[in-house]
């Protein structure tokens, strides 16, 4: 018996000491053909390859999360609990270490089973999202670090129940318990969302937004049922979080062998029409009358369940992407990613950031308009050509309401030479 165990341990790394980072390991990653294939990667930040824990992410297995308004301890509304209390109440099982199994082939670790492939790939995705934000934050003045992305808690394959529905085939950031979830997947035809690099980039962007715009509050005051914001300001706020997450998710894909992939979803979902509508490079993205009507009239509850949430967010992502692309390509898009992050939170300069625009107007939601948001972003774009291009795209695609042709009445940061773009037809004024 003893001999048998020794042989098992010699073949599988899980019994041995964990090698120091970087660790050479196989993962399923986007490749040159834009498909996903097993390739050797290096994990730069992993501490323990067996339990999949490192400085940027920590995977936790077999957790059980239940959101249930009929649960006696949730009945008072989870928004009335502190972040720590919510974690205690909603995580019915806090989970345990995962365990990866590998075979060592000439210094490269090969996952030995299905879950180990998924877990290594998940860690690699989180590491790349971290590297993306680290790069953008290092480019800020003064330079910053992505402190909110240290040891991100990732619930791997949890039993996640939301109002009695078991969540599968998804990847989520749950700000209310400050945890990510990589839920079980069953759809074998496509790349699971959890393995999609851009999707993980999108989820990590939610955490960055939550920290920098919402002051790391698990349920920000604007989002509380009954006492929070409602109507257009609420809908705009939620859509920005989603659309800008797509814009950053796209940015994270640029780190892969496949190169920048503005169409994040088409490899992962069956509905190709919808996937194309979420493409951040979509040249024909315009606010139309139906979307405008929904933005203005949907209740908070309707909006968060509607596709319009993402479609309106997409107009913001496309305005940024197209401004960069038309001004000079990928390098300019990166300048916009840096500027956008600066615009999330700025209490030092004369130009308030989105955090300030939201938190100084908690009781004055009508001040949170698309024009005010566009100004907060524009005022953080240093390059004048790029700022003009962003103003022009946003005026056009989002139908910003300005009295002057250069929009400087509503957006004083726009250069006087700005003119509204010509992609979209001007909508008639609302009755
Ligand atoms: Zn999202």
Predicted pLDDT at 189: 73
Predicted pLDDT at 167: 94
**Rounded Cα distance, 85 and 93, in Å:** 14
Cα 370 versus chain centre, distance? 21
Please tell me the distance between residue 285's alpha carbon and the centre of ligand 1 in angstroms: 19
Cα separation of the two ends of the chain: 83
- pLDDT tens string 70-92: 888 888 889 889 989 999 999 99
Q: Which of 59, 125, 79 is nearest to 268 (CA)?
A: 125
Tokens of 181: 């979830």
**Rounded Cα distance, 36 and 179, in Å:** 26
Higher-scoring residue by pLDDT: 70, 121: 121
Please tell me the distance between residue 394's alpha carbon and the centre of ligand 1 in angstroms: 21
Please tell me the distance between residue 200's alpha carbon and the centre of ligand 1 in angstroms: 10
**Rounded Cα distance, 57 and 47, in Å:** 10
Lowest mean pLDDT among 72-76, 86-90, 299-303, 401-405: 72-76
Q: Can you give the C-alpha Rg of the chain in angstroms?
A: 22
Q: Which of 70, 68, 52 is nearest to 60 (CA)?
A: 52
Please tell me the distance between residue 201's alpha carbon and the centre of ligand 1 in angstroms: 10
Evaluate whether 247 touches 340 at the Cβ level (below 8 Å): yes
Please tell me the distance between residue 265's alpha carbon and the centre of ligand 1 in angstroms: 12
**Interval 368-381 mean pLDDT:** 98
Please return the burial class of 194, using the count of CB atoms within 10 Å of its CB with bins 0-12, 13-18 and 19+: buried
- pLDDT tens string 19-73: 888 999 999 999 999 899 999 999 999 999 999 999 999 999 999 999 998 888 8
**Rounded Cα distance, 334 and 385, in Å:** 14
**What are the start-end ranges of the H helices in 213-288?**
231-253, 272-277
Please tell me the distance between residue 205's alpha carbon and the centre of ligand 1 in angstroms: 8
- pLDDT tens string 237-293: 999 999 999 999 999 999 999 999 999 999 999 999 999 999 999 999 999 999 999
Please tell me the distance between residue 373's alpha carbon and the centre of ligand 1 in angstroms: 19
- pLDDT tens string 378-394: 999 999 999 999 999 99
């Amino acid at each position: 018996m003893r001999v048998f165990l020794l042989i098992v341990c010699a073949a599988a790394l899980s019994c041995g000491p964990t090698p120091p980072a970087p660790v050479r390991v196989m993962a399923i990653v986007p490749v040159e053909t834009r498909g996903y294939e097993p390739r050797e990667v290096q994990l730069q930040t992993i501490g323990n390859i067996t339990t999949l824990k490192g400085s940027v992410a920590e995977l936790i297995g077999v957790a059980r999360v239940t959101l249930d308004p009929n649960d006696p301890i949730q009945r008072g509304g989870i928004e009335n609990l502190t972040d720590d209390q919510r974690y205690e109440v909603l995580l019915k099982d806090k989970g345990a270490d995962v365990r990866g199994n590998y075979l060592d082939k000439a210094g490269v670790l090969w996952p030995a089973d299905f879950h180990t492939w998924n877990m290594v790939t998940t860690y690699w995705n989180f590491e790349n999202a971290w590297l993306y934000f680290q790069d953008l934050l290092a480019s800020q003045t003064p330079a910053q670090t992505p402190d909110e992305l240290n040891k991100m808690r990732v619930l791997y394959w949890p039993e996640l129940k939301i109002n009695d529905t078991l969540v599968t085939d998804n990847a989520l950031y749950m700000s209310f318990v400050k945890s990510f979830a990589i839920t079980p997947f069953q759809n074998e035809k496509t790349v699971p969302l959890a393995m999609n690099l851009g999707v993980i980039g999108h989820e990590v962007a939610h955490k960055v937004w939550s920290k920098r715009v919402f002051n790391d509050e698990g349920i920000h005051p604007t989002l509380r049922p009954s006492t929070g914001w409602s109507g257009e300001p609420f809908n705009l706020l939620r859509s920005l979080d989603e659309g800008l997450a797509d814009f950053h998710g796209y940015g994270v894909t640029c780190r892969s062998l496949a190169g920048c992939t503005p169409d994040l979803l088409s490899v992962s979902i069956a509905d190709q029409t919808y996937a194309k509508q979420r493409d951040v490079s979509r040249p024909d993205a315009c606010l139309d009358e139906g979307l405008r009507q929904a933005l203005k009239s949907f209740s908070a509850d309707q909006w968060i369940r509607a596709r319009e949430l993402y479609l309106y967010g997409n107009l913001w992502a496309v305005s940024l992407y197209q401004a960069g692309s038309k001004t000079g390509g990928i390098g300019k898009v990166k300048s916009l990613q840096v500027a956008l992050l600066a615009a999330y939170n700025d209490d030092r300069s004369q130009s308030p950031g989105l955090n300030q625009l939201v938190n100084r107007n908690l009781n004055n939601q009508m001040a949170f308009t698309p024009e005010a948001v566009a100004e907060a972003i524009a005022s953080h774009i240093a390059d004048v050509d790029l700022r003009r291009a962003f103003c022009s795209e946003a005026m056009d695609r989002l139908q910003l309401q300005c009295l002057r042709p250069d929009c400087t009445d509503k957006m004083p940061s726009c250069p006087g030479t700005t003119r509204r773009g010509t992609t979209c037809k001007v909508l008639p004024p609302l009755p």
